[in-house]
Protein backbone atom coordinates (compact mmCIF):
# COMPACT_ATOMS: atom_id res chain seq x y z
CA UNK A 1 0.00 0.00 0.00
CA UNK A 2 1.24 3.47 -0.83
CA UNK A 3 2.57 5.68 1.95
CA UNK A 4 0.19 8.42 0.75
CA UNK A 5 -3.17 6.71 0.29
CA UNK A 6 -6.49 8.30 -0.55
CA UNK A 7 -8.69 7.69 2.49
CA UNK A 8 -12.47 7.77 2.07
CA UNK A 9 -14.81 6.74 4.88
CA UNK A 10 -11.87 5.07 6.61
CA UNK A 11 -10.89 2.94 3.59
CA UNK A 12 -7.50 3.42 1.92
CA UNK A 13 -6.90 3.45 -1.83
CA UNK A 14 -3.52 3.44 -3.54
CA UNK A 15 -4.74 5.55 -6.47
CA UNK A 16 -6.29 9.02 -6.40
CA UNK A 17 -7.97 8.55 -9.78
CA UNK A 18 -11.52 7.25 -10.19
CA UNK A 19 -12.55 6.21 -13.69
CA UNK A 20 -15.92 6.02 -15.41
CA UNK A 21 -16.91 3.06 -17.57
CA UNK A 22 -19.26 4.60 -20.15
CA UNK A 23 -18.83 5.59 -23.84
CA UNK A 24 -15.68 3.59 -24.59
CA UNK A 25 -15.27 2.30 -28.16
CA UNK A 26 -15.41 -1.30 -26.97
CA UNK A 27 -15.30 -3.44 -23.82
CA UNK A 28 -11.74 -4.41 -24.69
CA UNK A 29 -10.64 -0.76 -24.77
CA UNK A 30 -12.34 -0.11 -21.43
CA UNK A 31 -10.59 -3.08 -19.90
CA UNK A 32 -7.20 -1.98 -21.22
CA UNK A 33 -7.74 1.61 -20.04
CA UNK A 34 -8.57 0.44 -16.52
CA UNK A 35 -5.54 -1.84 -16.49
CA UNK A 36 -3.33 1.07 -17.56
CA UNK A 37 -4.74 3.63 -15.12
CA UNK A 38 -5.19 1.28 -12.13
CA UNK A 39 -7.87 3.52 -10.57
CA UNK A 40 -9.11 3.42 -7.01
CA UNK A 41 -12.66 2.68 -8.21
CA UNK A 42 -14.66 2.48 -11.43
CA UNK A 43 -18.12 4.00 -11.68
CA UNK A 44 -21.19 2.34 -13.15
CA UNK A 45 -24.78 3.46 -13.59
CA UNK A 46 -27.70 1.05 -13.24
CA UNK A 47 -30.08 3.41 -15.03
CA UNK A 48 -27.90 4.16 -18.04
CA UNK A 49 -26.17 0.81 -18.52
CA UNK A 50 -29.20 -1.39 -18.03
CA UNK A 51 -27.97 -3.34 -15.01
CA UNK A 52 -30.55 -4.56 -12.53
CA UNK A 53 -31.06 -7.23 -9.93
CA UNK A 54 -32.53 -9.69 -12.44
CA UNK A 55 -29.83 -9.50 -15.11
CA UNK A 56 -26.77 -8.83 -12.96
CA UNK A 57 -25.02 -11.65 -14.83
CA UNK A 58 -25.02 -9.71 -18.10
CA UNK A 59 -21.85 -9.13 -20.06
CA UNK A 60 -21.17 -5.65 -18.71
CA UNK A 61 -21.48 -6.83 -15.12
CA UNK A 62 -19.15 -9.72 -15.89
CA UNK A 63 -16.68 -7.24 -17.38
CA UNK A 64 -16.81 -5.07 -14.26
CA UNK A 65 -16.06 -8.06 -12.08
CA UNK A 66 -13.15 -9.07 -14.30
CA UNK A 67 -11.50 -5.66 -13.79
CA UNK A 68 -10.82 -6.53 -10.14
CA UNK A 69 -11.36 -2.89 -9.16
CA UNK A 70 -13.93 -1.73 -6.57
CA UNK A 71 -17.14 -0.55 -8.20
CA UNK A 72 -18.68 2.82 -7.32
CA UNK A 73 -22.32 2.70 -8.47
CA UNK A 74 -23.88 6.04 -9.28
CA UNK A 75 -27.36 7.47 -9.53
CA UNK A 76 -26.82 9.16 -12.90
CA UNK A 77 -30.05 10.14 -14.60
CA UNK A 78 -32.00 10.69 -11.39
CA UNK A 79 -33.98 13.91 -11.01
CA UNK A 80 -35.58 13.52 -7.59
CA UNK A 81 -34.75 12.41 -4.08
CA UNK A 82 -36.93 9.31 -4.37
CA UNK A 83 -35.39 8.29 -7.70
CA UNK A 84 -31.88 8.64 -6.30
CA UNK A 85 -32.62 6.77 -3.08
CA UNK A 86 -34.36 3.91 -4.89
CA UNK A 87 -31.54 3.63 -7.44
CA UNK A 88 -28.93 3.61 -4.68
CA UNK A 89 -30.76 0.83 -2.85
CA UNK A 90 -30.93 -1.22 -6.04
CA UNK A 91 -27.24 -0.62 -6.63
CA UNK A 92 -26.37 -1.84 -3.16
CA UNK A 93 -28.23 -5.06 -3.89
CA UNK A 94 -26.69 -5.60 -7.32
CA UNK A 95 -23.09 -4.65 -6.54
CA UNK A 96 -23.09 -5.69 -2.87
CA UNK A 97 -21.46 -2.43 -1.78
CA UNK A 98 -22.41 0.49 0.47
CA UNK A 99 -20.58 2.94 -1.82
CA UNK A 100 -22.67 5.28 -3.94
CA UNK A 101 -21.89 8.27 -6.11
CA UNK A 102 -24.92 10.46 -5.58
CA UNK A 103 -26.27 12.48 -8.49
CA UNK A 104 -29.57 14.35 -8.45
CA UNK A 105 -29.76 16.42 -11.63
CA UNK A 106 -31.60 19.73 -11.58
CA UNK A 107 -31.05 20.91 -15.17
CA UNK A 108 -30.93 18.64 -18.21
CA UNK A 109 -28.99 21.12 -20.35
CA UNK A 110 -26.00 21.67 -18.05
CA UNK A 111 -26.52 18.52 -15.97
CA UNK A 112 -26.06 20.78 -12.96
CA UNK A 113 -26.99 19.02 -9.73
CA UNK A 114 -30.02 20.09 -7.74
CA UNK A 115 -28.46 21.60 -4.63
CA UNK A 116 -31.40 21.11 -2.29
CA UNK A 117 -32.44 17.62 -3.38
CA UNK A 118 -28.85 16.38 -3.37
CA UNK A 119 -28.51 17.32 0.30
CA UNK A 120 -31.88 15.72 1.13
CA UNK A 121 -30.98 12.48 -0.65
CA UNK A 122 -27.54 12.40 0.96
CA UNK A 123 -29.06 12.69 4.43
CA UNK A 124 -31.39 9.75 3.77
CA UNK A 125 -28.66 7.56 2.31
CA UNK A 126 -26.18 8.31 5.09
CA UNK A 127 -28.78 7.26 7.67
CA UNK A 128 -29.35 4.09 5.63
CA UNK A 129 -25.70 3.11 5.93
CA UNK A 130 -24.38 4.27 2.56
CA UNK A 131 -20.93 5.73 2.03
CA UNK A 132 -21.97 8.69 -0.09
CA UNK A 133 -19.77 10.55 -2.55
CA UNK A 134 -22.01 13.41 -3.70
CA UNK A 135 -21.60 15.12 -7.06
CA UNK A 136 -22.12 18.85 -6.55
CA UNK A 137 -21.09 22.26 -7.83
CA UNK A 138 -18.27 24.35 -6.40
CA UNK A 139 -20.81 26.12 -4.14
CA UNK A 140 -19.26 26.36 -0.67
CA UNK A 141 -22.57 26.46 1.18
CA UNK A 142 -23.90 23.33 -0.53
CA UNK A 143 -20.66 21.46 0.14
CA UNK A 144 -20.81 22.44 3.80
CA UNK A 145 -24.41 21.26 4.05
CA UNK A 146 -23.46 17.91 2.54
CA UNK A 147 -20.77 17.56 5.18
CA UNK A 148 -23.23 18.59 7.89
CA UNK A 149 -25.59 15.70 7.00
CA UNK A 150 -22.74 13.20 7.24
CA UNK A 151 -20.88 13.08 3.93
CA UNK A 152 -17.20 12.45 4.68
CA UNK A 153 -16.14 13.62 1.20
CA UNK A 154 -17.62 15.78 -1.55
CA UNK A 155 -17.07 15.88 -5.31
CA UNK A 156 -17.50 19.34 -6.85
CA UNK A 157 -17.41 19.78 -10.60
CA UNK A 158 -14.74 21.73 -12.45
CA UNK A 159 -17.14 22.41 -15.33
CA UNK A 160 -20.37 20.84 -16.64
CA UNK A 161 -20.20 17.11 -17.32
CA UNK A 162 -18.58 16.17 -20.61
CA UNK A 163 -17.42 19.66 -21.57
CA UNK A 164 -13.70 19.07 -21.00
CA UNK A 165 -13.21 22.77 -20.26
CA UNK A 166 -11.19 22.32 -17.10
CA UNK A 167 -11.60 24.39 -13.92
CA UNK A 168 -13.89 27.28 -14.84
CA UNK A 169 -13.99 28.84 -11.36
CA UNK A 170 -10.50 28.47 -9.86
CA UNK A 171 -11.26 30.90 -7.04
CA UNK A 172 -14.27 28.93 -5.80
CA UNK A 173 -12.49 25.58 -6.06
CA UNK A 174 -9.44 26.83 -4.17
CA UNK A 175 -11.74 28.38 -1.56
CA UNK A 176 -13.32 24.98 -1.00
CA UNK A 177 -9.89 23.52 -0.32
CA UNK A 178 -9.09 26.30 2.13
CA UNK A 179 -12.38 26.06 4.04
CA UNK A 180 -13.32 22.37 4.07
CA UNK A 181 -11.51 19.73 6.07
CA UNK A 182 -12.71 16.63 4.24
CA UNK A 183 -11.45 14.82 1.12
CA UNK A 184 -12.37 16.74 -2.03
CA UNK A 185 -12.44 15.05 -5.43
CA UNK A 186 -13.04 16.98 -8.63
CA UNK A 187 -15.81 15.27 -10.57
CA UNK A 188 -16.73 16.34 -14.11
CA UNK A 189 -15.43 18.86 -16.60
CA UNK A 190 -11.74 17.97 -16.79
CA UNK A 191 -10.51 17.48 -20.34
CA UNK A 192 -6.72 17.34 -20.17
CA UNK A 193 -4.17 15.70 -17.89
CA UNK A 194 -2.88 19.20 -17.13
CA UNK A 195 -6.30 20.03 -15.66
CA UNK A 196 -6.02 17.07 -13.33
CA UNK A 197 -2.49 18.00 -12.29
CA UNK A 198 -3.62 21.56 -11.60
CA UNK A 199 -6.43 20.69 -9.21
CA UNK A 200 -4.19 18.19 -7.44
CA UNK A 201 -1.58 20.95 -7.01
CA UNK A 202 -4.32 23.07 -5.41
CA UNK A 203 -4.73 20.37 -2.78
CA UNK A 204 -7.63 18.31 -4.06
CA UNK A 205 -7.46 14.71 -2.99
CA UNK A 206 -8.45 13.03 -6.24
CA UNK A 207 -10.32 13.28 -9.52
CA UNK A 208 -13.08 11.32 -11.22
CA UNK A 209 -12.98 11.09 -15.03
CA UNK A 210 -14.93 9.48 -17.81
CA UNK A 211 -15.48 11.40 -21.04
CA UNK A 212 -11.96 12.83 -21.24
CA UNK A 213 -10.60 9.30 -21.42
CA UNK A 214 -13.39 7.40 -23.18
CA UNK A 215 -13.77 9.86 -26.08
CA UNK A 216 -10.07 10.54 -26.64
CA UNK A 217 -8.42 9.18 -29.77
CA UNK A 218 -6.47 6.66 -27.68
CA UNK A 219 -8.34 5.96 -24.42
CA UNK A 220 -5.70 3.59 -23.09
CA UNK A 221 -2.87 6.09 -23.53
CA UNK A 222 -5.06 8.90 -22.18
CA UNK A 223 -5.97 6.85 -19.11
CA UNK A 224 -2.28 6.45 -18.42
CA UNK A 225 -1.62 10.15 -19.00
CA UNK A 226 -4.31 11.12 -16.48
CA UNK A 227 -3.04 8.62 -13.93
CA UNK A 228 0.47 10.05 -14.27
CA UNK A 229 -0.83 13.63 -14.07
CA UNK A 230 -2.79 12.94 -10.88
CA UNK A 231 0.28 11.40 -9.29
CA UNK A 232 2.49 14.30 -10.42
CA UNK A 233 0.05 16.91 -9.14
CA UNK A 234 -0.15 15.20 -5.77
CA UNK A 235 3.64 14.94 -5.54
CA UNK A 236 3.96 18.63 -6.37
CA UNK A 237 1.44 19.54 -3.68
CA UNK A 238 3.34 17.56 -1.08
CA UNK A 239 6.68 19.00 -2.24
CA UNK A 240 5.46 22.57 -1.77
CA UNK A 241 5.62 25.04 -4.63
CA UNK A 242 7.96 28.01 -4.57
CA UNK A 243 6.54 31.39 -3.61
CA UNK A 244 5.46 33.49 -6.58
CA UNK A 245 7.06 36.92 -7.12
CA UNK A 246 5.99 39.95 -9.13
CA UNK A 247 9.50 40.60 -10.45
CA UNK A 248 12.34 38.47 -11.75
CA UNK A 249 14.54 36.71 -9.24
CA UNK A 250 18.03 35.48 -10.22
CA UNK A 251 18.29 31.71 -10.17
CA UNK A 252 22.12 31.80 -10.02
CA UNK A 253 23.64 33.41 -6.90
CA UNK A 254 26.04 36.32 -7.48
CA UNK A 255 27.46 37.01 -4.02
CA UNK A 256 30.56 34.98 -3.35
CA UNK A 257 30.70 33.51 -6.86
CA UNK A 258 34.11 33.87 -8.58
CA UNK A 259 34.10 35.59 -11.96
CA UNK A 260 36.96 36.08 -14.44
CA UNK A 261 36.77 39.68 -15.63
CA UNK A 262 38.32 40.50 -18.96
CA UNK A 263 39.57 43.92 -17.83
CA UNK A 264 41.43 42.42 -14.87
CA UNK A 265 43.05 39.79 -17.08
CA UNK A 266 44.67 42.55 -19.14
CA UNK A 267 45.82 44.65 -16.16
Residue 189 annotated as binding site = yes
- Number of residues written out for the chain: 267
Residue 210 annotated as binding site = yes
Q: Is 101 a catalytic residue?
A: yes
Residue 56 annotated as binding site = no
C-alpha span between 235 and 77 (Å, rounded): 35
Residues tagged in the binding site annotation:
162, 188-189, 210-211
Binding site per annotation, positions for 1-deoxy-D-xylulose 5-phosphate: 162, 188-189, 210-211
Q: Which residues are catalytic?
A: 101
Amino acid sequence: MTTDPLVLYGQSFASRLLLGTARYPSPAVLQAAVQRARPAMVTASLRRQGINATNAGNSFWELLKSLAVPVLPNTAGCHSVQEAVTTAQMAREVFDTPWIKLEVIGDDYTLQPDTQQTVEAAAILIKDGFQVLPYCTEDLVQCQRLIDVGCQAVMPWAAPIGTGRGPMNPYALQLLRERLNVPLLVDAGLGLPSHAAQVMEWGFDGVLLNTAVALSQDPVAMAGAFADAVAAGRAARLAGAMEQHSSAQPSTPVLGTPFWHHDKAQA
